[in-house]
Amino acid sequence: MAEFNWSPEELQEIVDNNRLVLFMKGTPEQPQCGFSNRASMVLQQLGQPFVTVNILTDHRAIPSVCAWSDFPTMPQIFVHGELIGGSDIALEMYESGELQQMLVDGESE
Amino acid sequence: MVTEQWMVEEVRKVVPDAEVEASDLHGSGDHFHVRVISESYQGVRPLQRQRPILNHFKPHIAQNIVHALDLKCMTPEQAGESGDTAFDPHGEEVEFFGVHIRRPDKE
């Protein structure tokens, strides 16, 4: 497998090819930050598969992802290629039903 | 290390009309829960509400002066309905899992 370099093109490809993507510290099984865990818990509530990217595996990851998305904190959640924000927004949008709606709406496009 | 008062003043620079409340979750000056209540958030999506504030704190986050920032940007109506808890990402009970705690300045 070719080396992953966290380039904007590579990152864009991940969110373009997966409807639900979570950039997080650690993994859903072993989260390394409470915010990342909260984001992962919210996505698990959706009952849909999602892709996670552990940004602690490479020191280049956090600066690269944050510069590409223009969002300074982790975790970051992407729905149908669009950044919705961090764990606070994910929870807010889940509770209001907006997140579920966004997933459905993206399917028909 | 920064103070709750500093956080409030900095957020007000970005959203001047806002009612701002900052809680230093650990007393360590780097984990904050911040509630921002503004009429100007009417009809604005959650990410767009946070972006100007996050952009303002970008240097502090990048340098880890502010390590954790849990932002709640609400309209006055939403604030009226919202609960009285703050999220602590490094709660002591279960490491890394985060716990909901009472906002420290509330009884």
CATH code where residue A95 lies: 3.40.30.10
Yes or no, beta carbons of B50 and A89 under 8 Å apart: yes
Q: Which of A52, A69, A66, A31 is nearest to B61 (CA)?
A: A66
pLDDT above 70 covers what percent of chain B?
77
Closest CA in chain B for residue A94: B46
The single-letter code of the amino acid at B21 is E
Nearest Cβ partner for B96 among A31, A87, A89: A31
The ipTM of this complex is 0.83
Total tally of structural domains belonging to chain A: 1
Which residues of chain A lie closer than 8 angstroms to B62, CB-CB? 72
Give the end-to-end CA distance of chain A in Å, rounded to a whole number: 32
Full domain range(s) for residue A32: 20-72+79-108
Q: How far is CA A20 from the centre of its chain?
A: 7
Distance from C-alpha of A68 to C-alpha of A42, rounded to nearest angstrom: 24
Q: How confident is the model at residue B82 (pLDDT cuts 50, 70, 90)?
A: confident
Would you say residue A6 lies in a domain?
Answer: no
The single-letter code of the amino acid at A20 is L
Contact between A77 and A90 (Cβ < 8 Å): yes
Which residues of chain B lie closer than 8 angstroms to A83, CB-CB? 47
Using beta carbons and an 8 Å cutoff, which residues of A are at the interface with B? 26, 31-35, 37-38, 71-73, 83-85, 87-89, 92-93
* Cα torsion angle, B85, B87, B91, B94, sign: positive
Which residues of chain B lie closer than 8 angstroms to A33, CB-CB? 89-90, 96
More confident residue, B59 or B86: B59
Residues with Cβ < 8 Å from B89, sequence gap 6 or more? Answer: A33, A34, A35, A37, A38, B31, B68, B70, B98
Rounded to a whole number of angstroms, the distance from the CA of B107 to the nearest CA of chain A is 23
Is the minimum CB–CB distance between B79 and chain A shorter than 8 Å?
A: no
pLDDT above 90 covers what percent of chain B?
62
Rounded to a whole number of angstroms, the distance from the CA of B69 to the nearest CA of chain A is 8
Residues with Cβ < 8 Å from A18, sequence gap 6 or more? Answer: A50, A51, A78
Nearest Cβ partner for A85 among B47, B55, B97: B47
Would you say residue A8 lies in a domain?
Answer: no
> What CATH number belongs to B4-102?
3.30.300.90
Rounded to a whole number of angstroms, the distance from the CA of A10 to the nearest CA of chain B is 23
Q: What is the pLDDT of residues B88-106, one digit of tens each?
A: 666 554 444 454 545 555 4
Q: How confident is the model at residue A108 (pLDDT cuts 50, 70, 90)?
A: confident
Work out the burial of residue B16: count CB atoms within 10 Å of its CB; fewer than 13 is exposed, 13-18 middle, 19 or more buried.
exposed
Q: What is the pLDDT of residues A25-82, one digit of tens each?
A: 999 999 999 999 999 999 999 999 999 999 999 999 999 999 999 999 999 999 999 9
Domains of chain B, residue spans: 4-102
Would you say residue A33 lies in a domain?
Answer: yes
